[in-house]
């Protein structure tokens, strides 16, 4: 079935790095733009980054610009989020999500992963 599975979360010290992965299955991964969304404990949803279906376009929230890098490997059906210079305020559940329509510039998110927890603490 159509599925996204995140991995790579954990506890990390401030200033260190972490790489999240999102493995896709059940659909043609290379045809869909993909996003990362996070949710701090007890807070709402915050969009983090997007990458177009072919990897040619990438955009970031101001809160992570210059520190996080989104990428994808369409041959491995996998989305990544490289997180550098982590801060306490990056502590959150990180979700990957697929847009609804193939090759869409922008659209709703119809498929979400289960989330992976990132805790930044000394």
Partner 1 sequence: DIQMTQSPSTLSASVGDRVTITCRASQSIGRWLAWYQQKPGKAPKLLIYKASSLESGVPSRFSGSGSGTEFTLTISSLQPDDFATYYCQQCNTYWVTFGGGTKVEIK
Name the site residues for partner 1 (rule: CB under 8 A): 33, 35, 37, 44-47, 50, 52, 57, 59, 61-62, 95, 99-100, 105-110, 112-115
Q: How far is the CB of 59 from partner 1 (least distance, A)?
A: 5
Q: For 80-94, b where at least 16 C-beta lie within 10 A, e where not — what string?
A: bbebeebeeebbbbb
Please say which residue, 88 or 108, places its beta carbon nearer to partner 1.
Answer: 108
Please say which residue, 11 or 105, places its beta carbon nearer to partner 1.
Answer: 105
Please say which residue, 46 or 84, places its beta carbon nearer to partner 1.
Answer: 46
Q: How far is the CB of 24 from partner 1 (least distance, A)?
A: 15
Q: How far is the CB of 44 from partner 1 (least distance, A)?
A: 5
Q: How far is the CB of 5 from partner 1 (least distance, A)?
A: 11
- DSSP letter string over 39-104? E-TT--EEEEEEE-TTS--EEE-TTTTTTEEEEEETTTTEEEEEE-S--GGG-EEEEEEEESSTT-
CA dist., res. 76 & res. 91, Å (int): 28
The DSSP secondary-structure symbol of 31 reads G
Please say which residue, 52 or 74, places its beta carbon nearer to partner 1.
Answer: 52
């Amino acid at each position: 079935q159509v599925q996204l599975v995140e991995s790579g979360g954990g506890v990390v010290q401030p200033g260190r790095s972490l790489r999240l992965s999102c493995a896709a299955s059940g659909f043609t991964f290379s045809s869909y733009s993909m996003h990362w969304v996070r949710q701090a404990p007890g807070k709402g949803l915050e969009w983090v980054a997007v990458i177009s279906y072919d990897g040619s376009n990438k955009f970031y929230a101001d809160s992570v610009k210059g520190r996080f890098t989104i990428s994808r490997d369409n041959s491995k059906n996998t989305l990544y989020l490289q997180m550098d210079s982590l801060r306490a305020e990056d502590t959150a559940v990180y979700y990957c999500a697929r847009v609804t329509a193939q090759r869409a510039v922008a659209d709703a998110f119809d498929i979400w992963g289960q989330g992976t927890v990132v805790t930044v603490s000394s």
